Amino acid sequence: MRRPITSVVPGFAALAAVALLLGGCGLADTAISGTAGAAAEAQQAQQAQQIEQHVRDQVQAAQDAAAAQREQAERDAQ
């Protein structure tokens, strides 16, 4: 299970602080790159959750339409 985005944000702040402390060496670039990569990954996770919810909504709408169609067919058959 993925962590909520809100639980990841404090980690970004910590990485940014480390990047500032290590500003004089190459580790700062690595830390900044890691932070940017983590932010992009968090954004992708959020987009995936939105897509998943959209698909769930579409499936539910299709199931509701099929149920209504069956009910109508049963009424028409009587």
List Cα–Cα distances, 61 to 17, 20, 67, 69, in angstroms.
47, 50, 10, 12
Q: What pLDDT, in 10s, does the model give residues 49-58?
A: 999 999 999 9
Burial zone of 31 (CB within 10 Å; 0-12 exposed, 13-18 middle, 19+ buried): buried
> Can you tell me the mean pLDDT for 28-55?
81
Please tell me the predicted confidence (pLDDT) of residue 38. Answer: 79
Note the pTM of the prediction, 2 decimals.
0.49
Give the lowest-confidence range in 5-9, 34-38, 47-51, 56-60: 5-9
CA 74 to chain CA mean position, Å: 41
- The pLDDT value recorded for residue 20 is 60
